[in-house]
Amino acid sequence: MMALFHGATRLWWIRHRLLLKRAGRVSISNKSGMTRRNLFKTAALPAAASLLLPQSAWSSTDGPAATESGSLALPVLSQPDMVFAFAGDTQAERHTLSRSGADWTGSSVRVRFAAGAREAAVSLESLSQPVQRVHLRWKCRFPANSLALGDAWERSYGDLEWRPLQAERAMPWYAMLHSGARTAGFGVKTGAASFAFWQVDPEGISLWLDVRNGANGVQLGKRQLTMATIVTHTGAAGESAFAATRALCRAMAEGTKVPAKRGTSSVDVIYGSNDWYYAYGRNSPDGLLRDADLVKSVAPAGGEKPFTVIDDGYQDPARFPSMAKLAEDIRSRGVLPGIWIRPLRAPATAGKILLPASRFAGEISPAYDTTIPEGLEAAAAVATEACGWGYDLIKHDFTTFELFGMWGSQMGASPAQGNWHFNDRTVTSAEVVTALYKRLRTACGEDRIILGCNTVGHLSVGIFDASRTGDDVSGKEWERTRRTGVNTLAFRLPQHKVFYSIDADCVALTEDVPWSMSRQWLDVVARSGSVLLISPDPKAIGNEQRAALKEAFARYVHRPASEPVDWLQTRTPRSWKAAGAPEAYDWTLPEGESPFPIGIQRGPD
């Protein structure tokens, strides 16, 4: 069969060159005039159902081949063509590793690639050398019209999109490819011990595994580290790009238990209120009880209870004399109390249990080093206190920023910068993050819902129940909600009820945001079945808003589902499909939208 495939490919190539010559588009004698990129621009591929042309179709290099039916044969579960290790503590030196069976070795570093039919595990040993990164490379080729989609390190920042192949683009955790009517993807399973990202270019695929400790090399000693486990999904003919992405997410989470309930609360029905986008820290017990009364009045009778989540600002004892009593008062209204916490924030006087300030390029926020037992327990104590007050939903925030000194939008291919490390040098940054998340779960117990914000979602699967997947929306300007909210809802919705319940952020009901826009945002979130929390300014709530809230909540508690239809063409999809019926939204104000920055700090693309 392979001989037939090579022969057919060669005949196609000769025929294609002759056709181009007749058309006056290329001279056969000018071999340098036709690049592979131009080739794909001017001709259809043989076996049109194939998205990926394996290396073996072009040369004698070993690699996966298309099957007789033309289905995809992604190479990433097979041995890579090249493996590099970047060793060193502060300055990394690249070492080319040599292969012997499943082992790749060089300069006292050993990488084992355990290939498999369904998944492939990648492990690392380095007895004496600190290691920073491992780079794996597979040679293969792609059509020039391929589109690629990656994920984000933590929240997205209005920047997720299907994009033409861009060689330098870092795609955290997974990469989806789409060409014509076919979609395929590959990723690392959730809970990895490294920060993993992919690159895809017309010549192949790269996987980078960042195993650093802070910004320095990890010192493994005698430990063998399983850095990541690779999985793939090849979409069937006619399978939508959205369904294929969701299927890959399922493969990435396979084997991890994701609870359906916490106590008596279903983790896929989280709705109610959060005061941030109208109060912005100037909240009060009276205002929060008013919110609880509102969501109770518009929630369906006899259904899952709504939440009222208290956001930042409650730390002032003059305004909030008793957090335990406030939780009781919310609960007495038939509403479940929730609260926002910032567990890593530490006083500057905490001294030896603080992370080094050198991890920050700008603003410095003192934070606990959770590889020091006292630091980890100090962070856990914040969650323990909130639970002791009687709150059923714990929303924690700022942990990625405070651990690494950067927002996800600034990280690019490097989740940490500078020259610093955690106190315990033997663990990777990914392991530090996972250990913190597990400790917060232990502090909260198994019966409380945990919603992570500014968290590394892929490391929280099975630990947290919901994840704020995008940067803040706004109660002051619509443009921020359009850019960040609509984008994260569309592009991270495949993860919903697979990794956790996604939270695209609140629906701000304020006088500053046009109701015509907030009404649509409320509707699309409610139809998606993702977390639905409103920020209701009492000055903006009238009969029309109450009726819309009642309708949205009634729809939401029945666990609907939707997907973006036009997400291959835009960052902010306007066309959505819910319950088989199309829904169209107009996210643009009559005067158009602002071309200016909206406060998101950017780093490398």
Angle between helices 515-528 and 543-556 (to 10 degrees): 10
Count of domains for the chain: 2
Whole-number pLDDT of residue 2: 40
- Residues 534-572: tens digit of each pLDDT: 999 999 999 999 999 999 999 999 999 999 999 999 999
Please check whether residue 292 lies inside any domain of the structure.
yes
Please check whether residue 404 lies inside any domain of the structure.
yes
- Within 10 angstroms of residue 509's Cβ, the number of other Cβ atoms is 27
Return d(Cα 578, Cα 411) in angstroms, integer. 35
Whole-number pLDDT of residue 46: 32
Amino acid at 265: S
Please check whether residue 422 lies inside any domain of the structure.
yes
Return d(Cα 357, Cα 111) in angstroms, integer. 33
356 in Cβ contact with 290 (< 8 Å)? no
Please check whether residue 398 lies inside any domain of the structure.
yes
CA pseudo-torsion sign 194, 450, 273, 246: positive
Whole-number pLDDT of residue 413: 97
- Residues 90-121: tens digit of each pLDDT: 999 999 999 999 999 999 999 999 999 999 99
Please check whether residue 62 lies inside any domain of the structure.
no
Whole-number pLDDT of residue 289: 98
Whole-number pLDDT of residue 581: 83
Whole-number pLDDT of residue 35: 26
Return d(Cα 537, Cα 522) in angstroms, integer. 15
- Residues 375-432: tens digit of each pLDDT: 999 999 999 999 999 999 999 999 999 999 999 999 999 999 999 999 999 999 999 9
Give the pair of three-digit tokens for residue 199.
Answer: 């690159």
Q: Where are the beta strands (DSSP E) in 239-311?
A: 261-262, 265-266, 271-274, 307-310
Whole-number pLDDT of residue 116: 96
Can you name the residues that pair with 110 across neighbouring β-strands? 105, 125
- Within 10 angstroms of residue 505's Cβ, the number of other Cβ atoms is 29
Name the residue among 468, 470, 434 with its Cα closest to residue 453: 468
Whole-number pLDDT of residue 602: 66
Give the pair of three-digit tokens for residue 156.
Answer: 């997205």
Please check whether residue 349 lies inside any domain of the structure.
yes
Return d(Cα 571, Cα 592) in angstroms, integer. 16
User: Which CATH number fits the domain that encloses residue 400?
Assistant: 3.20.20.70
Whole-number pLDDT of residue 210: 98
Please check whether residue 355 lies inside any domain of the structure.
yes
- What's the Rg (C-alpha) of the chain? 26
Whole-number pLDDT of residue 65: 36
Whole-number pLDDT of residue 459: 98
Return d(Cα 495, Cα 268) in angstroms, integer. 12
Measured between its terminal Cα atoms, the distance across the chain in Å is 43
Q: State which residues form the domain around 37.
A: 2-46
- 581-584 and 307-310 as β-strands: parallel, antiparallel, unpaired? unpaired
Please check whether residue 9 lies inside any domain of the structure.
yes
Low-confidence ranges of the chain (pLDDT < 70): 1-73, 602-605
Return d(Cα 7, Cα 205) in angstroms, integer. 26
Whole-number pLDDT of residue 599: 83
